[in-house]
Amino acid sequence: MPYRKSRKSHYQLKDDFRLAHDREPNRVEIFKIGRCKELPDGNEQWVDDESRSRYERMIQLSTPSLDTESGSTPISAEEAFVSVMGKDRSGRIRCGGSRETCRTWYGTGEGSSSTNYQQQISNIENTLRMEVEELRTEARRRDS
């Protein structure tokens, strides 16, 4: 996929983002910074339509839906990135920088699949806890 800022490394993009926002950017934000230019009139100029559609899909996956009946729960930005762009292969971490490997990105002994799996389990457990608590609250209200 083409990049907008061919002379700036991912590390420079991350540093610029940190200075502007006082926090570490996630890979979805790095993806957008590298492929989208903010114009003075407030519009965005993407390098191609595929980049724009992939970014919109990542945002859609990680943003809570207003339609409560759809049953879809938002996922983390990292999970959204991996589901749209695909799993990282050894020696290549997309939007991570040239020095990043699976070991440096995910930690020793962990790959993207085990990290994502543990994160998915945690997200599901949290969602179930919230649903159980809501049902208990509703049952108490009905009993009263």
pLDDT digit string, tens, across residues 17-75: 889 989 888 888 888 888 888 888 988 888 889 989 999 999 988 887 665 555 567 78
Rounded-to-integer distance, Cα 1 and Cα 124, Å: 33
Rounded-to-integer distance, Cα 20 and Cα 77, Å: 20
Work out whether the CA dihedral 83, 62, 14, 54 comes out positive or negative.
positive
Asked if the model's pLDDT at residue 118 lies above 90, the reply is no
| 69's tokens | 């009946």
pLDDT value of residue 67: 56
pTM: 0.61
Residue whose structure tokens are 């114009």:
39
Query: 131 vs 114, which has greater pLDDT?
Result: 131
Cα distances (angstroms) measured from residue 9 to each of 15, 19, 44, 102: 10, 16, 21, 19
Residue whose structure tokens are 């729960």:
73
pLDDT value of residue 3: 57
Rounded-to-integer distance, Cα 25 and Cα 12, Å: 12
pLDDT value of residue 136: 93
Rounded-to-integer distance, Cα 104 and Cα 121, Å: 23
Contact 48, 36 (CB under 8 A): no
Strand partners, 89: 92
